[in-house]
Each structure stands twice: as structure tokens, then as C-alpha cells.
Amino acid sequence: MATAVMSFSNVVNAAENSAKKSSEMPQQCKDLFNETENLIAEAEKQPGTHTQVNKIRSKLNQSKQQILEMELATQIKSCDVALAKLNSMKQQQQ
């Protein structure tokens, strides 16, 4: 019982920290994550790709965590670079 309560407490603390970080997230990162979520949603609709969506989403969540643990200036720079690359790839597809 004590272990379950401790685990629940850890989950609550992680959620609170995540909520705190997301409110401090730079706009570039919000834009990047939204664009990426849109691409994942599109991939979900594609035959053959939809089987990989959970793996892709898991990688995205790992990347979000890594970015949010960086210093603010590094977050901004990293998200700017990634967003530029993503937009470049999207333009090449059109």
C-alpha cells in the first residue's frame, strides 16, 4: 500500500513539473511539437505507417522531455533549427 501511494505521489509530482515546464515552453517549441503531432496524425491515416505510430509518438515524447530539460536559450535554438528543418522538408514534399 505504501509503495502504491509513493508511486502515485511520484506521478503527481511529475505531472505538476511537466505542467509547470509546459507553461514556460518557448513558442518555437510549442509550434514544433504541434507540427510534429499533426504529422503523426497524418501518418496514422497512411497504410503501412499506422503500425509505427505508437513508436513514433513515444520517440516524440522522449524528445520533448530532452528539450524541456535544456536551458531556455538552448530550447529556443533547438526548436528554431528543428522547425526550420521540418518546414523545409514539408516544402520539398509539395
pLDDT digits (tens, 9 = 90+) for 25-73: 899 999 999 999 998 888 888 888 767 888 888 999 999 999 989 999 9
Please indicate, yes or no, if residue 5 is contained in any of the structural domains. Answer: no
- Domain extent, residue 65, equals 27-93
Q: Which residues contact 28 (CB under 8 A, 6 or more apart)?
A: 75, 76, 79, 80, 83
pLDDT at 23 (0 to 100): 56
Please indicate, yes or no, if residue 37 is contained in any of the structural domains. Answer: yes
Please indicate, yes or no, if residue 75 is contained in any of the structural domains. Answer: yes
What is the number of domains present in the chain?
A: 1
